[in-house]
Structure 1
Amino acid sequence: MSLPPVLLPTTVVGSYPPVEGRGLWSRLDPHRAARETAVSDQLRAGVEIVSDGQVRADMISAFAGHLPGVRDGRVIGRIEPPARPITVEDTRYALSVAPFVKGILTGPTTLAHALHLDTRVYRDRQDLALDLAAVLAREARALVGEGVCMLQVDEPILSTGAADPAAAGEAIGRIASGLSVPVALHACGPVGEMIDDLLRYPVQVLDLEFAGHPGNLEVVAARELGDKRIGLGAVVSSSDEVETVGTIRARVERGVAAFGPGRLLVDPDCGLRMRSREAAFAKLSRMVEAVREVRAEL
């Protein structure tokens, strides 16, 4: 599947505020209502590439909690694939109601640094990350098989300086290899110290924060991007304060001036899980409105 045939396609980084379910269905699956609400809200806001909302757990537990070899946040043995894919069921639901859906994985290096290494099976976290990447590669192939239009790997650890960037790139490459859809890497924070490493990664999209970290625009625009596209974080995700359409539009216009409209996807800076539902919906709605205004001028 290809991306939406429009300039400046709108999307999300992934997570959405979970709502509490009620009734019989919530007893069978306490996250069903949250999943349906997350997808519905994205579509009502006008977002073109939606996610499943990532409503079941935080980004670490959502994956690590299902992996043989991990118990209570501790790596106690060799990492093995789970009995069934972790995110396919929720992604399949999103695909049943939306034409364009992205699959989302927590990156292997972020997972490796979040878990306590309590076994001699792995020499170090880089070694662990490669086995995590192998498991996540299976998950990625399953998501592509379901029909996602792109795959996103979230690696917030990269901006901390705690991880070796070359090793992280190797792990990402093991996930991205052979996939038939574009792969995006989402990284948080200022990218000045890591942009050259990110540009070497075997991904088609770099999804970065440009609203909360406006200095990233100059840093990235000064590089030769080749055929890489940019996910332009145009909405601050760290606060419930909802920016005006004009503020968001100005950010998108700066992105267009720096990179050209054909290179950009537009989304919030990061996931919206910690925001109120009202703020998250308003942020997405205004982002979509701002993008539509910019498109009308192109």
Structure 2
Amino acid sequence: MSKAYFINKVLATTVVGSYPVVKAGGLKSLFDPLHSAVETAVADQIGAGIDIISDGQVRGDMIGAFAGKLPGVKGQEVIGKIQPAASAITVADTKYTISKFPKVKGIITGPSTLAHGLHISTPMYRNKEELALDLSAALVVEARSLEAAGVTLIQIDEPILSTGIADLAIGKQAVEQIASAVRVPTCMHVCGNIGNVIDEILKYNVNVFDFEFSKNQANVDIISRRDLTGKMLGYGCVDSSSEEIETVPEIRKRIEKAVEYFDPKILLIDPDCGLRMRSREAAYWKLKNMCEAAKEVRLAL
């Protein structure tokens, strides 16, 4: 199977990554107050029927969780030259997840998104572009650690790319520095309306592009006019921004629309974005209904 088609299942389901943080009490939580939240996120994703799960990204927001561990960053301030973290940032939670389920996605916040989430307080960097390239060099170490841990896929989250704020050429260089450093397939997640940036983004050398389609219906038309040869498409078909739980028929309709436009073999079915801000109940049922809808469409094929 080529790197692009790394899961042998039509309309396989996955998550964009984050899950609500469900803390538990007890003795165990004294040593690691968030481990129970990882356990809950993993168990819920497995229970919902997801094919490629994540560790739930429960240890912080996408900027702080990574930047807070990198030498050269203090709080939101860049105070010196960026260096790789002293030890792997996400690997312990990822290893736990792999111990519970065979197919796990490792997740890294993208260099451009990190650079734009930080404030430069050192003459070491003249601009966000220089910062992004050093961040990507530091994150290569994390990507290789995730690969060594046994992940199925590494996702690089670059929501900033749809906004027009980030330099897309530098963004490409930074993402590809990470993607080319590993042998496992790589995915890039970009949410929002991608109309203004899609032609540049599709030049990025990753195996999967993941976009939101339920909240951004226009993206279907935009992508369907582009050549995706050899790439897979993460198809966001559940609204992550709302507590409202879509029904199985509603989600099924969205997936059927995807199948009209794209070869089902290249589609990965997931929510638009992370589910961290949702209640546990909403997050679980959104995933459960999404898996059921994907299954129905798969059977109809």
TM-score if structure 2 supplies the norm length? 0.97
Q: CA deviation at 1:86?
A: 0.2
Higher mean displacement: 164-173 or 278-287 = 164-173
Match of 1:145 in 2: 148
1:85-113, Cα deviation, whole Å (9 max, x unpaired): 10000000000000100000000000001
1:200 alignment partner, SS class: coil
Match of 1:126 in 2: 129
Match of 2:248 in 1: 245
Alpha-carbon separation, structure 1, partners of 2:300 and 2:28 = 46
2:13 alignment partner, SS class: coil
Match of 1:23 in 2: 26
Alpha-carbon separation, structure 2, partners of 1:157 and 1:178 = 22
Q: Structure 1 stretches (4+) deviating beyond 3 angstroms?
A: 1-4
Match of 1:69 in 2: 72
Q: Is 2:197 the counterpart of 1:194?
A: yes
| Equivalent AA in structure 2 for residue 222 of structure 1 | R
* Cα pair 1:35 1:90 within 8 Å, conserved: yes
Q: CA deviation at 1:21?
A: 1.8
* Cα pair 1:69 1:75 within 8 Å, conserved: yes
Q: Is 2:22 the counterpart of 1:3?
A: no
1:226-282, Cα deviation, whole Å (9 max, x unpaired): 211100001000000011111100111111111111110000000000000000000
Match of 2:233 in 1: 230
1:31-86, Cα deviation, whole Å (9 max, x unpaired): 01100000000000000100000001000010011111000110000001111010
Identity of aligned residues (%): 54
* Cα pair 1:240 1:279 within 8 Å, conserved: yes
- CA distance change for structure 1 residues 79 and 178 in 2, over 3 Å: closer, same or farther? closer
* Cα pair 2:20 2:58 within 8 Å, conserved: yes
Q: Is 2:170 the counterpart of 1:167?
A: yes
Q: Which runs of 5+ in 1 are unaligned?
A: none
Q: CA deviation at 1:5?
A: 1.7
Match of 1:274 in 2: 277
Alpha-carbon separation, structure 2, partners of 1:122 and 1:48 = 41
Q: CA deviation at 1:178?
A: 3.7
2:87 alignment partner, SS class: coil
1:279 alignment partner, SS class: helix
Alpha-carbon separation, structure 2, partners of 1:96 and 1:187 = 29
Match of 1:32 in 2: 35
1:78 pairs with 70, 77, 81, which one?
81
Higher mean displacement: 221-230 or 104-113 = 221-230
1:232 alignment partner, SS class: strand
Q: CA deviation at 1:285?
A: 0.1
Q: CA deviation at 1:3?
A: 3.4
| Equivalent AA in structure 2 for residue 261 of structure 1 | P
* Cα pair 1:3 1:100 within 8 Å, conserved: no
1:197-247, Cα deviation, whole Å (9 max, x unpaired): 111001111100000001100000001112111000010000000111111
| Equivalent AA in structure 2 for residue 56 of structure 1 | R
* Cα pair 1:188 1:209 within 8 Å, conserved: yes
Alpha-carbon separation, structure 2, partners of 1:8 and 1:124 = 41
Match of 2:104 in 1: 101
Alpha-carbon separation, structure 2, partners of 1:296 and 1:142 = 37
